[in-house]
Amino acid sequence: MEKEIQVAEASIQEMEPRVQAHKWYPRFHVAPRAYWMNDPNGFSYFNGEYHLFYQHHPFSPEWGPMHWGHVVSRDLVHWEHLPVALAPSTEDDADGCFSGSAIEVNGKLVAMYTGNVWTGPDHDTDLKQVQMIAESSDGIHFTKRVEPVINEAPEGDIHPYHFRDPKVWEHNGTYYCVLGSRTKDHQGQVLLYRSDDLLNWAFMAVAAKKEGNGGFMWECPDLFHLGEHDVLVMSPQGVKPEGEKFHNLHQAVYVLGELEYGTGTFTHGDFHMLDAGFDFYAPQTLEDPEGRRVMIGWMDMWESEMPTQAHGFCGAMTIPRVLVPDGDRLLVQPLPELAELRREAVSYENQPVTAKQTFDSVNGTCLELRVEVNIKNADAFRVNFRSGSEEKTVLRWDKKDAAVTLDRTKSGAGVSGTRTVKVNTESDILKFRLFLDQSSAEIFINDGEAVMTARIYPEETSDGIEFEAEGEAVIERLEKWELHSVFSQKGGM
């Protein structure tokens, strides 16, 4: 594999100076040094560092034969690029080292991933997928086990070719993994396996599936215990819209339930959306040393317009998010340590808003914005950001719908559309926390009750922020900080 990695690295290094000078290249989000990125993989804590791998095509800004890109951090805030970790190099992963996970075992970081081979021209039907292992003593250089550890899908109503994305964990001295799957008539489901040594795996059960509108394939499953529940995070493909929910091509959801380790079955409730915006897929979590459940997702969506491809790169990760149990739901909140990136604070208090209004020094393209607004006497409240002469992205609350809408109809190149989510404003206080990077917006509503993520591609001159209300709103507190880059110059930046 060493030769394949060297070839990949040479390709990336030739392109990266041009890519990272571009106006849309992120400053405080993990993005590829050059070319294509999708799903987070192998998100893990090993030897005092956080390792994040990702699906990576190092030869083109389009999806292609998958490698594992690699970044590392000591605090989940500041990151360093490392060389490509996995590259196609065996007969079982010749057409891609697909998604997977990583776990520390006896002083080694062990990655379990899906090896993919195309057996014909149709990528939906002509494929063979197996589960493979690679090990590393330093978390950087990996050695593959040549033979797959799971050679084929189990018997029963399980599709023989589409089973992928293993997520591994340890429970009471035994290893378990969930795999994304579908039935033979294309209904999404998750499989559960167990092992004593990570090498010999036994199929236990179809752990979970959903009757009705559950989609045709459940990708990137992740199962863990949090609070009073076991939680299954996954990315179902093909879920049909229901009201304001599930309007992206594919979804990222969680369900709460209970895993019966004896039988391998997971009894669970209905889907909850993890993000109500446009661009969030394939999230993966880890438990950090403090016991928090931290999640990162791919900040893009399949088959969306991706204007950065014309400039040699595509894809980014979200900021790290903390999952917080709250009764029969999870709150999704930005990692508190991101406050370390703040510079040049600006703040205002008790500001009435009726017509369109701006505030001195509240603008920019790379910032954090916190807004707490009393909407008791307002019928609507809007924040227009990345605003210019012809462009703006609009975050709008409407009393009559009790909902927040994110509108990128005028956001710039390529993208458009709206997404809406119901929110609770019984207290008459609405809270927004916005993280704006060069080509993205992540909006946390009411301390994590809902999150909306969007890629946007405005001009650099579109850096305004405007506030509007119908009726009268009072901004009780407004805070804005410029945010600095999270990457060190070492390792390719």
* Residue 39 is a catalytic residue: yes
Catalytic residue among 39, 92, 222, 407: 39
**What's the length of the chain?**
493
Q: What is the SS3 assignment for the chain?
A: CHHHHHHHHHHHHHHHHHHHCCCCCCCCCCCCCCEEEEEEEEEEEECCEEEEEEEEECCCCCCCCEEEEEEEECCCCCEEEEEEEECCCCCCCCCEEEEEEEEEECCEEEEEEEEEEECCCCCCCCEEEEEEEEEECCCCCCEECCCCCECCCCCCCCCCCCCEEEEEEEECCEEEEEEEEECCCCCEEEEEEEECCCCCEEEEEEEEECCCCCCCEEEEEEEEEECCEEEEEEEEECCCCECCECCCCECCEEEEEEEECCCCEEEECCCEECCCCCCCEEEEEEECCCCCEEEEEECCCCCCCCHHHHHCEECCECCCEEEEEECCEEEEEECHHHHHHEEEEEEEEEEEECCCECCCCCECCCEEEEEEEECCCEEEEEEEEEECCCCEEEEEEECCCCEEEEEEEECCCCCCCEEEEECCCCCCEEEEEEEEECCEEEEEECCCCEEEEEECCCCCCCCEEEEEEEECEEEEEEEEEEECCCECCCCCC
Burial 329-361 (b: 16+ CB within 10 A, else e): ebbbbbbeebeebeeeebebeeeebeeeeebee
Q: What is the CA radius of gyration of the chain?
A: 22
Largest Cα separation within the chain, whole Å, is 67
User: Which distant-in-sequence residues (6+ apart) come within 8 Å of 28 by Cβ?
Assistant: 319, 338, 341, 366, 435, 437, 483, 484, 485, 486
The residues annotated with a catalytic role in the active site are 39
